[in-house]
Amino acid sequence: MTPESSRRVLIVEDEPDVARLIALHVAELPAAAHIESDGREGLRLALAQGPWDLLVLDLNLPGLGGLEVCRAVRAKGYDVPILMLTARGSELDRVLGLELGADDYLTKPFSVMELQARVRALWRRAALRSPSHGETLPASPEFLQVAAMRIDRVQRKAWIHGHELTLTPREFSLLWHFANQPGKAFSRNELLAEVWGYGHDGYDHTVNTHINRLRKKLGDGYIDTVWGVGYRFQAPP
């Protein structure tokens, strides 16, 4: 995470009044805000002019929708916190955004207090998972070896039999969380709270989707389903 005085926020929002309101109140946190109204240009800026400390993406954007921008940013391996904005109340939209890699969402209209609280929470969680930040949990090792798998927390990379795995930032965070506590069964709500950083009910599908993708990349034996509880990580037999 960048020092507070140097934080940079990219706001991709096509409603000028909403964009200016967000920029004004993000500046109080403090942070310097850049506003872009087009999704395609927003994606270009997100990738070319980083690092950013926060991306605020509206769901409906000209050029390229917010979900597509989010997907593209995560596909490039960027772990920047992403806050989605939506005027829709549909749970499906929120779940889809979270599955594509968004960290949180905010439904319009929103209060200034809620906006600032969610942004602060995203930055706290980013600081805790950043290997270069002083708030990184001191008890966590830098490397883990589980059977043929080696995991590097600093580089955020993992290998099996020497072959590097292609993991999204969220998949790596999930893998590291599991591997730090092998044999422990985690419920979906626990994983949402501890890996995603929030405890919303009704987003089990988000966890299931990420677990299924991670299983395909790890192969058989590493992640078991514990019926009636959730999931458990262990070395394959």
* Domain termination residue (choose one: 78, 99, 129): 129
13 and 107 fall within a common domain? yes
Indicate if the pLDDT at residue 145 is higher than 90. no
Looking at residue 93, its pLDDT comes to 63
For residue 3, pLDDT over 60 is answered with: no
Task: Give the whole-angstrom CA distance, residue 198 versus residue 106.
Answer: 13
Are residues 69 and 182 located together in one domain of the fold? no
Pair (117, 77) in one structural domain: yes
d(CA 75, CA 85): 20
pLDDT band at 128 (very low <50, low <70, confident <90, very high): low
- Residue 196: CATH number of its domain: 1.10.10.10
Find the CATH number of the domain harbouring 54. Answer: 3.40.50.2300
User: Omega into 30 within 30° of 0, i.e. cis?
Assistant: yes
Higher pLDDT, 236 or 188: 188
CA-CA distance, 218 to 8, in Å (whole number)? 35
Strands (E), the chain: 8-12, 32-36, 54-58, 82-86, 104-107, 143-146, 149-152, 157-160, 163-164, 185-187, 223-226, 230-233
Same domain, 155 and 94: no
Residue-averaged pLDDT of the chain: 82
Identify whether residues 49 and 123 lie together within a single domain.
yes
pLDDT at residue number 92: 61
Q: Look at residue 122 and tell me if it is in a domain.
A: yes
Quickly state the pLDDT bin for 88 (edges 50, 70, 90).
low
Task: Identify which has the larger pLDDT, 137 or 158.
Answer: 158
What is the tens place of the pLDDT at every residue in 158-170? 998 888 898 888 8
Among 129, 157, 182, give the residue marking a domain's end.
129
Domain of residue 203: give its range. Answer: 143-233
| Same domain for 211 and 173 | yes
What does the pLDDT read at residue 175? 92
Query: What mean pLDDT do residues 142-147 have?
Result: 79
- What does the pLDDT read at residue 190? 86
- In this structure, is residue 166 part of a structural domain? yes
The pair phi, psi for residue 228, each rounded to 5°, is 85, -5
- How far is residue 104's CA from residue 84's CA, in Å, rounded to a whole number? 6
Mean pLDDT of 205-225: 87
In whole angstroms, give the CA distance from residue 17 to residue 145: 51
Tokens for 173, please give them: 């965070």
Lowest mean pLDDT among 40-54, 63-77, 190-204: 190-204
The per-residue pLDDT for range 8-45, each reduced to its tens digit, is: 999 999 999 999 999 999 999 889 999 999 999 999 99
Give the span between the Cα atoms of 128 and 17, in whole angstroms: 33
The total domain count for the chain is 2
- What span, in angstroms and rounded, lies between the C-alpha atoms of 157 and 6? 27
**67 and 161 housed in the same domain:** no
Q: pLDDT at position 100, please? A: 74
